[in-house]
Amino acid sequence: MSNFGYFEEKKIRRVSDLQIWKRIVVLCQDYKVGVVWSMVLSLLATGVTLAQPKLFQFAIDNCMTSGDDLLVRLDSLGFATLLYGGTVIVAFGASFAQIVLLEYIGQSVMHQLRCALHRHLLSLDLAFFHAHPAGRLVTRLTNDIQNMSDMFTLVLATLFNDLLKFFGILLMLLLINVRLALLMSIFLPLSLTVSLFFSKIARNGFRAIRSQLAVLNAFIQEIVSSLDIIQIYNREAESLHRLWVLNEEYLQRYLRLIRCFGAFMPMIELLTWLAVAAILWYGGGEVLRKQLTLGELTAFLAYMRLFFLPMLELARKYSVVQSALASAERIFELLDLSGSIQEPAQPLDGNLISGAIRFEQVSFAYQQEDRQGQMQKASKDTLSNIDLYIQAGETVAITGPTGAGKSTLVSLLVRFYDPSSGRILIDGHDMRHFSPKTLRQKIGLVLQDPLIEPDTVLANIRQDTGLNQKAIEQLLDRTGLTAFINRLPSGLNTRIGEGGLDLSAGEKQLLAFARVLCRDPAILILDEATSSVDSQAEQLLEQAVRTEFTHRTVLVIAHRLSTVRRADRIIVLDQGKIAEQGSHTELLQQQGIYAGLIAADLREQESPPDGISVDTDAESVLYFPLH
């Protein structure tokens, strides 16, 4: 069955149930006091529950079948009834308190696990997210966590009780009649063998289900994120077919598991009733031979039902346990992954960064996932042997054909990835000696499609800088961005993003630029930052750059050549290598790749689509300070 290029981990590390349970216990360590109290409540509830069959025995042997006076027997029966009622009330109260306590502990542990998994995902580098579909990770954070939550809710709250009852009842059965207890014990190995056999089948089944669910979620995530493309190219029918195939495979895997449990549950029930029938046949004969009282046989049968009840309950919840353990396997596998971007043992001070950049024989290739789910280096380098020096305060434009490696160069500079070979120096220091957090505070990055959080404009601009509103307003005044803010309904307090005002592409770029200014970076990177803005937004960006970045290092990544021609130096990348470099005039004189790009750019301006006019005399350029 094809997964259409979506692969879940094929060789996820297999671990034993004991190892998984050990890690779950470690998660509960912060709640030791609550666990101890739950054990005390469990002992109380189990103790009074185990007393109930003995009260049956007392009522039958000492009240109903004895030869004592009728009034004495009635008084004894009334006393036994009151005791039985008392045990029911105590068992209810203790069980209620224990369940509430364990539910609180379980949900707190799941809250802790969700936060730990989310925190760990945020610590991983982009190479990990480049290789793993978002739908798969969403499955970890939602479905897999929910499966573990169901286990805490439905299973762990009664697991200790069931185990305690199991051994307590076994002891009571031996005390009542050893021969009957030995006869019943014949069925225990059979029950254990059946459980272990179905355990292996169920675990493999749930692994397959979890794997296919992640594949399905990854596909749905892609469909939602590219719905406009699907509709434009009329790909609805094909997308529905692919979804049907993936969904059908998920259904078949689930049906195979249902058939497994459809056989398991009746088999456990069958063994239970066979044991009861055997005890009734042998025990009834013992009663007739006067070797056993009717009360003892009744108590023994009652204990037997209680004895197999925990096993039946565990059998009913077996699917929940196996599903949760399969999910836990994948969650812990993800938590054990470490990113390739490591924090230095002794990070350098960020104040050492003034803006000088040197690439020394830098090469880089992305990691790709093969059909077996294993990561391997791409066959071709995206960047190859890059040697480049950028002085502090210099404005450098990087251009070239699509796929030349321009954005990859930026990703290396902000340390989203580390080079495959070579190194990058910032002011003479290997950038790996700086903390990634410190490095990114000193580098301002404005992307073509910046992230907008559903919050106020002020919160989007301020981020983690801690600047107050007055300081931000002064910065906006100084850079001329106040005009942009004044156009918004509530100024800096305007809510934007989901549930708020929808900003245009140009307004988003201005907001992203204001956000970068608040960080006061030593290095500014504009990655296609003006490719989708109008002339008015471009003029505002021009003024802001002229005001704040005259003496700082500026890197401009652009396809639009009108955006780069006034830079101090232009770097032309082609097929991952530096093909040309120099000023606009020098590169035109070389009649190379850059000159060809200029000619193509001019042809596009002179031959616009029907209905669109272009003023070819107007030079739309983003201002770059000349040094």
- How many other CB atoms sit within 10 Å of the CB of residue 453? 11
Is the pLDDT at 427 greater than 80? The verdict is: yes
User: Which burial class, exposed, middle or buried, applies to 433 when counting CB atoms under 10 A from its CB (0-12, 13-18, 19+)?
Assistant: middle
Examine the domain organization and report whether 329 and 398 are in the same domain: no
Judge if 315 and 398 occupy the same domain.
no
Residue 398, domain member (yes or no): yes
Per-residue confidence at 606, pLDDT binned at 50, 70, 90?
Answer: low
Regarding whether 320 and 181 lie in a shared domain, the answer is yes
493 Cβ contact list (under 8 Å, min separation 6): 456, 457, 458
Answer whether 507's CB lies under 8 Å from 537's CB.
yes
Amino acid at 469: Q
Q: Is the domain of 567 the same as that of 490?
A: yes
- Is 80 exceeded by the pLDDT of residue 29? yes
Total structural domains within the chain: 2
| pLDDT, average across residues 199-205 | 74
Write the CATH number for 265: 1.20.1560.10
**CA–CA distance, 41 with 22 (Å, rounded to integer):** 23
Res. 360: pLDDT tops 90: yes
Instruction: Examine residue 274 and state whether it is found in any structural domain, yes or no.
Output: yes
* Residue 385 forms part of a structural domain: no
Residues 398 and 270 in one domain: no
Same domain, 41 and 108: yes
- Res 200 pLDDT > 90: no
Report the CATH number at residue 546: 3.40.50.300
The reply to whether 224 and 329 lie within a common domain is yes
Does residue 42 sit in the same domain as residue 151? yes
Instruction: Give DSSP secondary structure letters for 94-149.
Output: HHHHHHHHHHHHHHHHHHHHHHHHHHHHHHS-HHHHHHS-HHHHHHIIIIIHHHHH
Query: For residue 110, is it within any domain?
Result: yes
Tell me: the pLDDT tens digits for 39-63? 888 888 888 888 888 777 777 777 7
Residues 299 and 398 in one domain: no
Q: Which of 335, 356, 385 is the last residue of a domain?
A: 335
Q: What would the pLDDT profile of 549-573 be if each residue is shown by its tens digit? A: 777 898 988 766 666 777 889 999 9
Instruction: Give me the residues paired with residue 425 across strands.
Output: 358, 430
| 358 occurs within a structural domain | no
Both 317 and 399 in a single domain? no
Selection from 86-90, 144-148, 321-325, 370-374 with the highest mean pLDDT:
86-90
> Can you give the pLDDT at residue 506?
75
Q: Which of 296, 313, 335 is the last residue of a domain?
A: 335
Domain with 457, as residue range(s), is 394-403+440-606
Query: Is 139 contained in some domain?
Result: yes
pTM score, two decimals?
0.66
Q: Do residues 466 and 565 both lie within one domain?
A: yes
Residues 237 and 117 in one domain: yes
In a domain, 144, yes or no: yes
Q: Residue 188 pLDDT more than 50?
A: yes
pLDDT at 286: 79
Higher pLDDT, 374 or 446: 446
Select from 289, 311, 335 the last residue of a domain: 335
Residue 520 within a domain: yes
